[in-house]
Amino acid sequence: SSTKSHEHYLDVVPELPWEKVGGQEQALQAIKDAIELPLLHVDLFKKFQHATPKGFLLYGPPGCGKTLIGKATAYNLTKQLREKTGAEMREYFMHVKGPEILNMWVGESERMVREIFATAREKRREGFMPFLFIDEAESILGTRRASRYSNILSTLVPMFCSEMDGIDSLNDVVIILASNRADLIDPAILRPGRIDRKIKVNRPNKQGARDIYRIYLTDDLPYDGALTKESAAIGEAIDRLIDRLIENQFARRDENKFLEVTLRSGRKDVLYRSDLLSGAIIASIVERAKAIAIKRAIATQQEEGIREDDLRLAVNAEYTENDIFPPSDVIEEWLKLIDYDPENVVKIAPVKPMSDSRSRASSGVI
C-alpha cells in the first residue's frame, strides 16, 4: 500500500511545547494566527466566511529552526485538538526532503507526490492529524526556470497544486513548506487558498540568542567552580555567563568580521559573526564546549565543569570549522545563508582566512 512504501517519511515528534523553540516569537505568533485559530475556532471562521490557508511556508537561512518549528506546530496543534475535542488523536508528521522526490524517470516524481498525499488522507481517516512537511521545497516546487529539472517541474507543480486544491481545510492535512530560497518557489503554489502565509524564520537577535543558549545550558550540567561561586543560585550564574558570551559574540569588532558582500551598486557590506548566528550554531557551540570539558576531565582525572573559556574556544572553532558555511566563495551557496536579494549580490568573500583544512578544500572548488 502507499502507506507502507511511505513509512520512511514518518518522523518522530518529541514533546515540544512552544517554549522549547527559542528566539522565534514572531514566527510562532504568525503560525498561531494562521493555523491554530482556524483549527480551534472553526465555527467563528465559518460565521465570518473567513478563508483559511491549507498551510504555510517557513523561509529563512538554514539552521534557524524551520524543522523544529514544523514539529512544534504538529505537537502543539494536536495536543490542543485533543483537549478541545476529547478525541484520542496523535500527530502523523511526514518529513519529505524535496530532492528525494526528484527522479529522472518519467512520471516517477508525480507518482511519489500522489502517494504522499494519499498517505496523508489515509492517516486522517484513521484518526491521526497529518502534517506534511516539505523541506527544500524550492527543489520540487520551484519556478521552471530556476531548476535544471524544469521538464519534471512543469508537470510536478500543477499536480501538487491540484492535490492541494483537493484538500478541503486544515482539518484534513496541514502542509508546511520550508525553504532557504523562497524567491525560487513557483507563485502558483503561494496563491490564496493554497500556501498563502509566508512566515520568515529570522536569525536570532541578542535576546533570541540568550533564550536559545538557556535552552542548552541547563542548570543540571556540571559547571566550573569559579562560575558556581559567582552567585548563590546556579541559574543566575548561567544567565551572567550567557550575557558575557552574547556581548562578546555580538560585538562589532575586527575579530568578529566574517564576510564581505559586494552589491551591484558597488557598495561593500561587512557581515559579522552574529549576522550568521543560528540556533543550530548555538547548539553546536555548547556541544563543543562540553567536549572540551570532558577531555579536560579525562586528562586531569578530576571533577571538571564547563568553563567560560570552553565556550569562547567553542565559538571560535565553530566559525572556522563549521560545515554549515560553504568551503569557498561560490555565491550560490552563500546566498542561502545571507539575507540579501540574490539579484543585487555580485561577490561574496570571507573576510578572514579559514582554517588550513578548509582553505585547502576550497582551493579545489574554485
Q: In what order do the strands lie in the sheet with 268-272?
A: 268-272, 257-263, 345-350
What is the structure's pLDDT at 153?
63
What is the structure's pLDDT at 36?
84
The whole-chain average pLDDT of the chain stands at 85
Convert the pLDDT of each residue in 124-143 to its tens digit. Answer: 999 899 999 999 998 888 87
How many residues in the chain? 366
Beta-carbon contacts of 257 under 8 Å, excluding residues fewer than 6 positions away, are 270, 271, 272, 351, 352
Please tell me the distance from the alpha carbon of residue 65 to that of residue 71, in angstroms, as a whole number: 10
Domain 2-200 is of which CATH architecture? 3-Layer(aba) Sandwich (3.40)
What is the structure's pLDDT at 143?
77
**Span of 95-99, 109-113, 323-327, 332-336 with lowest mean pLDDT:** 323-327
Please tell me the distance from the alpha carbon of residue 252 to that of residue 256, in angstroms, as a whole number: 7
Give the pTM: 0.82
Does position 146 have pLDDT exceeding 60, yes or no? Answer: no
Q: Answer yes or no: are the C-beta atoms of 264 and 354 closer than 8 Å.
A: no
What is the structure's pLDDT at 226?
86
Residue corresponding to grid cell 557590506: 269
Does position 205 have pLDDT exceeding 50, yes or no? Answer: yes
Q: Answer yes or no: are the C-beta atoms of 329 and 350 closer than 8 Å.
A: yes
Q: Is 301 exposed, middle or buried (0-12, 13-18, 19+ CB in 10 A)?
A: exposed
Beta-sheet pairing, 10-11 with 174-179: unpaired
Beta-carbon contacts of 254 under 8 Å, excluding residues fewer than 6 positions away, are none
Domain ranges of the chain: 2-200, 206-363
Please tell me the distance from the alpha carbon of residue 300 to that of residue 130, in angstroms, as a whole number: 51
CA atoms within 13 A on the CB side of 355: 12
Three-state secondary structure readout of 321-359: HCCCCCCCCCHHHHHCCCCCCHHHEEEEEECCCCCHHHH
Does position 27 have pLDDT exceeding 90, yes or no? Answer: yes
What is the structure's pLDDT at 155?
78
Convert the pLDDT of each residue in 279-317 to its tens digit. Answer: 999 999 999 999 999 999 999 988 889 999 999 999 999
Segments of the chain assigned E as strands: 10-11, 55-59, 91-97, 129-135, 174-179, 198-200, 257-263, 268-272, 345-350
Convert the pLDDT of each residue in 156-166 to its tens digit. Answer: 888 888 888 88
Q: Is 235 exposed, middle or buried (0-12, 13-18, 19+ CB in 10 A)?
A: exposed
What is the structure's pLDDT at 361?
36
